[in-house]
Amino acid sequence: MTRRALPAALVAAALTLSACGSADEDVRSTIADRYELVADSGDYAAYRSDDDVLSVAATIESAAEAGRDHSEGSDRYLGYEETMVHIAPGPAGGSDIEVTDVRDGYDRWGPVIVPVWGLFGGGYRSGFSGGGSGFGK
């Protein structure tokens, strides 16, 4: 590589990396761009959609595949490293969407997700993975 090509390659690599967001950022951005904001308080936000739960979940997962995914009745829970999403049927049709950080998600939806995902451990990858014997859980 010539002396001029090396700096240009480094600049191009840096621009490429800076353009890539995390899965958490991609999920929050997709939700904010596509759905109507109903409430916003710190890391928590509530949105409304005319789309059904399955369509909303598919749209969100097209932005970033969830590390954890659980359905309970008609509700859907998506877990990412630092973000959790709850999608429920709206009372008048469509969907209600809640997005928050993982700790708040466990506080809000713990009774539903702890039996499936395990206890909070700082993110979905750190959580307890269930009972039984086995190395490396």
Q: Answer yes or no: is 26 within a domain.
A: yes
Rounded Cα–Cα distance for residues 38 and 73 (Å):
23
pLDDT of residue 4: 52
Q: Answer yes or no: is 3 within a domain.
A: no
Q: Answer yes or no: is 7 within a domain.
A: no
| Total number of domains constituting the chain | 1
Give the pLDDT confidence of 2-57 residue by residue, as tens digits: 555 444 444 444 444 434 569 999 999 999 999 999 999 999 999 999 999 999 99
Give the pLDDT confidence of 94-105 residue by residue, as tens digits: 999 999 999 999
Q: Answer yes or no: is 5 within a domain.
A: no
pTM for this model (two decimals): 0.74
- The radius of gyration of the chain's CA atoms, rounded to the nearest angstrom, is 18
Q: Answer yes or no: is 2 within a domain.
A: no
